[in-house]
Structure formats: structure tokens, C-alpha cells
Amino acid sequence: MRKFALTACLAIAAALPAGAGEGYVTYAYEGTFEEASSSVENAIIGAGLKVDYVSHVGEMLARTGADVGDDTLLFDHAQAFLFCSAVLSRKVMAADPMNIAFCPFGIFVADRGGKVVIGYRTYPDGPMQEVQALLDAIASEAAAF
């Protein structure tokens, strides 16, 4: 019985994303920021989706730090890829029109001190879990390259 319980716990742990925090999930990327960004973009396109916008979060934070009184370097590089799925968006908003609050979907890439991560924010239980599953599939695929 103990062996079964240990095996079950290990299987569950292996199924969890690499880094799950309060409100977000991250996967470590073994490569450069540029490679990770390209991998994310390719995974989004490979899922049949189009990147609507790339937010250059790291550049904005570096550029505005002195203006807000804190020029601490938070990221070496950071971007967020914003995109949508017409089919999935329609489905979740048909279930609850206020799910518009979660659109567009986003996956981020961040580099802090040479440690690159790919991640996304988590969504509430219910219909939005289908979106979260899509984000996890894209992020984990991108991280595996």
C-alpha cells in the first residue's frame, strides 16, 4: 500500500508544472531569452493561433525605473505574448460573458540573471480551465525545445 501511495504521489508531482506560484505557472527554459521567445511564438503559431501583440515588459521597466524612483534591474529581458482563440474565447464567454476579463490570453518569457522562464497566469475553476490547459500546452511545448 505504501508503495502505491508513493508511486501515486510521484506521478502527481511529475504532472505538475515546473513552477507553480500564487496565480502563475512557470517552466524553466534551458537556453537563451531569444531562443525561448522564438520557441513561445512558434508554439503559439503551431497551435493555430496568431500573436496579436508582444509587450516588451523588460524594456519598459528599465526605461521608466528612474522616473518612478527605482532603477533596480528587475529583468535582463522580459516579454509577454498576447493572443486569442476565437473558438475558445467564444466558448468561455458564452458560459459567462464576464470571462472577457481574461482576454487576450498571454504567455510570458523572462530572464533574470541568465535564468530563463516561460509562464502564464492561472485562471479560475470552471470554463476558464480549458484556456489554462491551452496555455499550459503551449508553454510546456515551448519550454521543451
Rounded mean pLDDT of the chain? 89
Rounded Cα distance between 20 and 48, Å, is 26
Q: Does residue 13 lie within any of the structural domains? A: no
Number of domains within the chain: 1
| Percentage of the chain lying above the pLDDT 90 cut | 83
Question: Residue 11: inside a domain, yes or no?
Answer: no
With 0-12 CB in 10 A as exposed, 13-18 as middle and 19+ as buried, what is 84?
A: middle
Structure confidence at residue 18 (pLDDT):
57
CATH number at residue 41: 3.30.310.70
Residue 39 within any structural domain of the chain: yes
CA of 15: how far to CAs of 6, 8, 57, 118, in Å?
14, 11, 30, 17
Residue 45 lies in a domain: yes
- Interval 40-76: pLDDT, tens: 999 999 999 999 999 999 999 999 999 999 989 999 9
65 is in which domain, residue-wise? 19-144
Phi, psi of 39 (to 5 degrees): -65, -40
In this structure, what are the phi and psi dihedrals at residue 83, rounded to the nearest 5 degrees? -160, 170
DSSP symbol at 35: H
Report pLDDT for 101.
97
pLDDT along the chain (145 residues), means of 10: 32 45 94 98 98 98 95 96 97 98 97 98 97 98 93
Question: The pTM is what?
Answer: 0.84
pLDDT confidence of residue 143:
98
Whether 5 maps to a domain, the answer reads no
